[in-house]
A = this chain, B = another copy of it.
Amino acid sequence: MKKIVTFGEVMMRLKPPGYAKFSQSDHLELTFGGGEANTAVSLAYFGMEAKHVTRFPDNLIGRSATQFLRRHWVNTSQVQYGGEEMGIYFLESGAVHRSSTVVYDRSHSAFANMLPDTFDWEEILKGADWFHWTGITPAISENTAASCLAAIKAANKLGVTVSADVTYRQNLWNYGKSPQEVLPALVAGSDVIIAGSSDLRLLMETEENLKFSHLAKLAMKTYPNIKKVADKDRESLNASHNTIRGKIWNGKEMLKTQVFDVTHIIDRVGTGDAYAAGLIYGLLHYPNDQDAINFAAAACALKHTVEGDANMVSVADVERLASGDTSGKIKR
């Protein structure tokens, strides 16, 4: 059983039922999510041992968050408690031309307020096969960025493969440093990155009109530790109908998957994290990169039909779709 370690904030997710708005609703659905933890949950459902490292307030809300992760098979032995507030995000689910809307309440969370050296990363990563981080963690605070860098360095030292989902979110970078100051050191220690063209441009300050394969090559040149640059193409026909295609540059070839036509989206959140989980599983378990991104893109497509932040599907579910069975016939 392969072992993964993930690191990042987990937020309480509060959402009115169905397509209702907060202004219409007197009760809310409660779940938890966060990019890296979503990836951990998905990998745990794939049968991997997934350990998520994070920090929660030491109260009944923080413990409920841990219990959510435990329920969904994640190893929570490295969760720390302290600070005062739980990160929260409020979600209204859109449809067709109406966008889903997210409001964050995370600026003063227990995670954001962590100290930089509370995690013993060498101890935590001992025996792990893979470490995964995303661009959200270094965007939250100086200390989370520092801790993320410490984790990557420890992983490099221990020979643990490192993957990154770069995903730059402009409105998160509020603590006084720019992503250009912070990200390069983190990316430099990563073996696999998931990054769209705009993320890659941000990392390398290149001209506007280079396309993905070009940028990927450039990234490998700039950050020689990187072995693979993956991404997915999403076409958003509307909030209820997207298409997804996976792609990867592995230093030799540019591989793409079939297009998955997600005609009836149930929950759009966390689909990128599901792609990351699929990619990690695929690269660890399949003999070639094409199979890996097929699995990743199929996993991503399936997530659109799973409620909540994380992709609670099995390897068999994903493989059936990756192998081309899009029929969705009842399993009895």
Contacts and interface: CB of A to CB of B under 8 A. Distances in A.
Given A306-B19, A308-B24, A102 B60 contact: no
Given A97-B326, A98-B317, A331-B99, A23 B263 contact: no
A257 to B, nearest CB: 13
A151 interface: no
A238 B266 contact: no
A89 to B, nearest CB: 9
Interface stretch (A2-10, A27-35, A176-184, A194-202): A27-35
Interface string A167-210: 00101000000000000000000000000000000000000000
Interface in A281-332: 298, 301-302, 304-308, 312-313, 317, 321, 326-332
Contacts of A101: 60, 330-331
A118 interface: no
A59 B86 CA distance: 19
Contacts of A107: 84-85, 108
B24 A307 contact: yes
B30 A26 contact: yes
A63 interface: yes
A28 B25 CA distance: 11
B25 A26 contact: yes
A127 interface: no
A115 interface: no
A14 interface: yes
A92 interface: yes
Contacts of A313: 98
Contact of A330 (B68, B102, B105, B261): B102
A328 B266 contact: no
A73 B67 contact: yes
A95 interface: yes
Interface string A84-126: 1110101010111111111111011000000000000000000
Contact of A329 (B30, B236, B262, B301): B236
A328 B99 contact: yes
A96 B305 contact: yes
A304 B64 CA distance: 22
A18 interface: yes
Most buried by B among A63, A68, A269: A63
A258 B307 CA distance: 33
Given A96-B264, A98-B302, A70 B68 contact: no
A85 B99 contact: no
14 contacts: A14-B14, A18-B18, A23-B67, A26-B29, A28-B30, A96-B264, A96-B266, A96-B328, A97-B321, A98-B313, A98-B317, A101-B330, A102-B332, A108-B108
Given A27-B27, A86-B105, A96-B328, 11 more contacts: A26-B29, A26-B30, A84-B105, A85-B108, A94-B330, A96-B264, A98-B306, A98-B317, A238-B261, A239-B328, A240-B263
